[in-house]
Structures are given as structure tokens and as C-alpha cells.
Amino acid sequence: MLAKLLAGTAALLAILLISGHARPGHVRPGHDFRPDVARPNRPNVVLIFMDDLGYGDLSCYGALGYRTPNLDRLAAEGTRFTNFLVAQPVCSASRAALLTGCYPNRLGISGALNPTALVGLHPEEETIAELLKEQGYRTGIFGKWHLGHRQPFLPLQQGFDEYLGIPYSNDMWPQHPNQANLKFPPLPLIEGNQPVKTLASLTDQDSLTTALTERAVSFVRRNRRNPFFLYLPFPMPHVPLAVSGKHRNSSGAGLYADVITEVDWAVGQILASLKQTGVEKNTLVIFTSDNGPWLAYGEHAGSSGGLREGKQTTFEGGNRVPCIVRWPGEVPAGQVSNQLLSTLDVLPTVARLCGARLPRRPIDGIDVQAAWRGTATESPRQTFLYYFRENNLEAVRKGDWKLVLAHPGVSYEAGKPGRDGKPGQTPGNHAFEGALYDLRHDPGERYDRQAMHPDVVSDLQQLAEQARADLGDNLQQRPGSNRRAPGTVAKAD
């Protein structure tokens, strides 16, 4: 504990010496923060995090050809956010940001960690689970972890009391289409710290959504008399797509829609358990996704809902995802909000609502409780940094303006989609030129406004320079002053 405190203090002093003050959207530990301790009944928290679910994949967000009635009901009973961004459009990086409130490149986490990785979320970083556990919450995770599969990085070492799930993506297994080059080992199902089963076939994966849902329902029932934090990061609809027999061919719109139908059923089961145990009114439910659709997989991928590009890109199709928040009597029912929010903001907001402290190390999230409650007259978050790959600053945003910086990147529009569960040919280093987009009028990012608004370009370039000084930018060989190292283990045998 003393080591954590000293490390956090040193990091804070370094920031203050460099900048002289806190940067916009950057939270200093213990500064201007008062837990909402006046509330007599701290809410339970259910955080549902999908994998590769696109902005247009729910019927309440415009999906066509199938329905998601349970998620539509969740939206009708809560608030649906239409301008909600993940910190980075890829698995491990996105999850690190959600659980810590930090841009993942601040933590040294990038990309999607594979079975050979010797790094993970550093034990000195503090997760939502750790903060809530200090307040007497029971904590459980059932699903995909993907923040380091070596034991020092697994969930039980990061604040969770219970864990059942897979350690990384469900396509990191011997049946990957490119297995000859990747050489992935068998995919384990882990309970606690130990593998309990090998997922050797799609038939094994078919039962995964149901098994995780049943364990989540059990967790709710067992903890109905004390506060709990339930984190449910479903492995679906990441490829390979798998669905139980009871939902196969149920949508009438293909395998991907069947998978979404089963996920919707799973959400319905969780909501029913909250009602049946009498904790529904005092439970905050958050539903969102880790990034946009993996469009390389054609009909096995979701929809960006008309946004540009998808997963692995910093265009809106990669970073903007569905987000629904429900808390009866506290979050307005049936509302739609276009305020700018991010997964970065989940930790500080939940911490405030649950009477928990913030992490001792600086974070990037802000308390957006006013936006969730519908009382904010403007977006609590005004800026956002679009980083990708190891540490490339590819775009910056302020209000509705987004400045895309020239960079190489994945482009699905410049390639061809795959089919039948195999990826298409997608350029990985397409040369994107710089451009300025007005996302209020042009969410599809098609019309460059640089020539019309040089003052906006200049303002956003200053924001980009601040980001480079803080977090760095590999595109300009800038290291940044305030990045932290990931956790590491010795080389495996």
C-alpha cells in the first residue's frame, strides 16, 4: 500500500511541475472530489461490456432485420447515449481504459494482448473493482478479461472476488483462419486462477454466453443482501461467432443476428434477476461495447450504423459505440443524450455514486454524473484524444469538431470484406490525410472543413500538442512525460 501511495505521489508531483495545473479532463487524486456519501443506499453496479458490437447493432440504435427487445426496454427505462466513445478501438486497450479511467497508452497497454504476451495491467493500477471492494462491495467478472493472462494479472489479483471466463479473445485458438502463422495454443476457460476446461470447438463456444449468464444470475442472487459490482464482458459478437441451439436461426437474419439475439436474451435474464431479488431499483446498469464492428469479416461482422470505418480505426465507426445507462428514479427514463462521454468516465462516476475514492495515480476520466442524471446543460467532457497502435495520436476532438491527423491505418473501405468466418484483405497502412470534420452535421466524416475553419484547426492543433507533451506520439517520435509502464513477468518457458 505504501509503495502504491509513494508511486502515485511521485507521478502527481511530476505532472504539477510540468504543467503547473491539472489538464482539462485529467483528474488529480483527491482534488475537487467528494464521494456521494450522503446517499444511504449505495447502488449495486452491473457493467455489461460487449466485444465488437457496432453502433448500429441494436434495434434501439437503428438495426434492421431483427429486434433486441430487452435492450430496447433497457433504453426505454434509462438513457441512451449517442456520442459515447471508447478510449481505443481494440480489445485490451479499451478494457484497460474502462476499468482504470486512464487512456491505455498512459498505462503502457496497447492492441490486443495475445497468448505469448508477457505484459498485463500493472498491479499498481487500481480498477473499479478494487475501489468498490474497499467499500464492502462483492465483485465478480464473468466473461473475457484480456488484460494479461499470466496469473499476476488475472482478475482475482485486480480486485475481483470471482472470475469465470476466457483470458483473451475467443479467436486466439487453434482454429484461427491464420493459425499456420499465429500458432495459438488451446483456448482455456478459467475459474478463479485455474483453467477448468479447454474450449476446443465451436460447439464448446456455443454454450459460453449461456454459461456466463447463468453464473452472473447466480452472483446477483447470492449477493442480493449486500452491495455488489458485476462486470459482464461477453466474448460475443467477436468472431468466431457462436450461439446456443435455442437461439440458432432465431433471428431470421443470419448467424450474426442470432448471436445478438442471444446476447439480448442474456441481458433480459440479468434484468429479471435484479427484479426477482428486489434490487432492481437500487442497481445501476451500464451497457456498452469495447469498440466498433470488425468489418473485415463481412456478414460475420456488425454494423457501424453509417459511421465511417470500424474496429482498429479511429474514425467514428471504430470509437463510437452504443451506451445505455439505467438506474430507476435516478437516471431519466426514455431519454436520448448526444453529450460527449467516454468509457474513461465510468470509473470516476461510479466511484462517486458508490462513495469510493479515486485511484491514487492520476486518471483521465471525469465525473459525468450530471450527464447520466440528465441535469447537465452541456457535455461534462469537452475534449477527447484518439490514440491507436502503440502510441499514435491519430485525431483530437473538441466539442463537435474533430481534427484527423495524417496517419497510416487500417481501412475497410480500401479493402474487401471476407465471408463465412474468414477475414477479407484489409490494408493495414492506408495513408489517411489530415482533415477537419464537424461531427454535428457530418458524423460520417466525409467533408473536410479545414479550409473553411483555420481557427478551429489551430485550436485543435494546440490540443494535439498538449497531448503529445503528456502522452507522447510515436508518429512524431515524441515520448511524452507521463506514461507509466505495464506489468511484466519473466519470459515463459
The catalytic site residues sit at: 91, 146
Amino acid letter for position 262: E
The answer to whether the CB of 82 falls within 8 A of the CB of 337 is yes
Q: How far apart are CA 95 and CA 154, in angstroms?
A: 13
Cβ atoms within 10 Å of 183's Cβ, excluding its own: 11
| Residue 22 CA to its chain's centroid (Å) | 25
The answer to whether the CB of 159 falls within 8 A of the CB of 140 is no
DSSP three-state, residue 431: strand
The answer to whether the CB of 46 falls within 8 A of the CB of 232 is yes
Read off the C-alpha cell for 239: 468472431
Please give the torsion angle defined by the CA atoms of residues 124, 129, 132 and 136, in that order, rounded to the nearest 10 degrees: -110
Amino acid letter for position 389: R
The answer to whether the CB of 393 falls within 8 A of the CB of 371 is no
Cβ atoms within 10 Å of 38's Cβ, excluding its own: 7
Q: How far apart are CA 367 and CA 350, in angstroms?
A: 8
